Structure 1
């Protein structure tokens, strides 16, 4: 698998964002297709569900915290870290994988 930066992809960042798969090239930041990775169907589903929950701690119209938002973000980041460990387990040592948490915490 190659990226737009013309490198073979071995360094991957897992990060949630709106309307994007959770896999990113660590070199150029290109969003990668989750289906390009040999993961179990159940883990892919967990990852997609996790991404879908991104930002539920904010009022997007005002970009302010919702009540309990800081706690929701912490929980989201904790679950993302857990999912990253599952991805590492399923992909083995073929990739260098790291997690990038949401940085909305003030």
Structure 2
């Protein structure tokens, strides 16, 4: 499994087939599910969707989102124990866009 942010998707994905998994089916605590959904709800705050570019301080916003995602990934791994290997896929949109300029 992997934790990854995306628009209109749950934050848990299959790391083999890349399918988006229903978070309700993942055997983790309700508190952690709630935290993951809050985190995914903030996905893309660094993107100006109308202009397809980053907002001011977008790199910082994306970095903070990625830091929180890594923390949540570790919590998911801990709650799942050895059942699954859980990785984190950070967002790179802001950094890529900044390097294009």
**TM-score (normalised: structure 2):** 0.91
Equivalence for 2:99:
none
Does residue 80 (structure 1) correspond to residue 62 (structure 2)? The answer is: no
- Segments of 5+ residues of structure 1 without an aligned counterpart are 1-11
Equivalence for 1:7:
none
Equivalence for 1:62:
51
Structure with greater helix percent: 2
Q: How many residues of Structure 1 are paired with residues of Structure 2 in the alignment?
A: 95
In 1, Cα distance between equivalents of 2:45 and 2:38 = 12
- Segments of 5+ residues of structure 2 without an aligned counterpart are 97-101
- Write the deviation string for residues 64-99 of structure 1: whole angstroms up to 9, x where unpaired: 111111100000000000000000111100001100
Alignment RMSD:
0.7
In 1, Cα distance between equivalents of 2:65 and 2:50 = 21
Structure with greater strand percent: 1
